Amino acid sequence: MTSVTTRDYAWIRSSPLFDCALEIGYTLSLVRGVAPREVLRVMEAEPQGSCTGADALIERQDELRDPEDYSDGSFTAGAFTVPGEGGDWTLVLHVGEGGTGMQSRFLEALTDGGCAVVHSSNGGKPMHFFQWYEDGELRTTFEWHTARHGSTPDALNSALCEVGYVLSDDEDGTSEHVDTKAAAFALAERLTGVRVTEELLQGAEYQLGHVPEEPVEEWTGIVIDITDAHGERLYKEFTRAEIEGSQG
């Protein structure tokens, strides 16, 4: 495991690429032992050739996205191989609206017997996420590092502290200023051995795939669960058939 800290990722704050990624959203995923083409296949991506550099990847995303369809959830992902801890890893980058480049079902399939680390931002609001999958299981995930979830939410606590996070009960979760986004990059390197740099992202040859929008699941019913100020609870389940029948 490397001795990387937030200082090693200070470059993100002077990077035009990362400034763009934070503004419009991004997802950066690292998947161990699965080739780029296979990663894109699991993501159900339609092959779109290749390009060199993250700027070209963003341009291709813009070309394939319908500018008038604000609800379009499809995106273009770029993937390439990079050496890391325990062998080769595939780095998958998506920069675009929403930063939703890796669904949980993709990660569960890709880490069956393997490992993946993902960090992302949805842009705008913003909301930032970190996920560590191993053997098809979400081991640790968090939006804010003092509120961790997953099957082993505290397994990374030592690494979190070593890269610069402060695990405390302070209101803001830290006793000093910590660049939590730089810390997320550093934590990802601790787990993967992959050093991400501006030069790496801008010089890589990306294999491209256009990932379709996730299908919307049909709703089957609703649940009303309300507790009033006196502690009285109202809980009621309604099926779709009951609701649609009452409208007839």
- This model's pTM is above 0.85: no
Q: For residue 59, report the phi and psi dihedrals to the nearest 5 degrees.
A: -60, -40
pLDDT of residue 198: 95
Q: Which range, 55-69, 153-167, 195-209, has the best average confidence (pLDDT)?
A: 195-209
Mean pLDDT of 18-27: 91
Task: Tell me which of 6-15, 58-67, 201-210 is least confident.
Answer: 58-67
pLDDT of residue 122: 86
Integer CA distances (angstroms), 226 to 96, 230, 231, 238, 242, in order: 37, 11, 9, 14, 20
Tokens of 114: 């393997």
85 or 213: which leads in pLDDT? 85
pLDDT of residue 116: 97
CA distance 46 to 111: 21
CA distance 42 to 111: 11
pLDDT tens digits for 187-242? 999 999 999 999 999 999 999 999 987 665 565 677 787 776 676 777 777 777 77
pLDDT of residue 173: 46
pLDDT band at 28, cuts 50/70/90? Answer: very high
127 or 217: which leads in pLDDT? 127
12 pLDDT more than 50: yes
Mean pLDDT of 109-127: 90
pLDDT band at 245, cuts 50/70/90? Answer: confident
Mean pLDDT of 1-28: 90
100 pLDDT more than 70: no
- SS3 track for 19-52: HHHHHHCEEEEEEECCCHHHHHHHCCCEEEEEEE
Integer CA distances (angstroms), 200 to 55, 81, 197, in order: 12, 11, 5
Q: For residue 208, report the phi and psi dihedrals to the nearest 5 degrees.
A: -105, 145
Q: For residue 131, report the phi and psi dihedrals to the nearest 5 degrees.
A: -140, 135
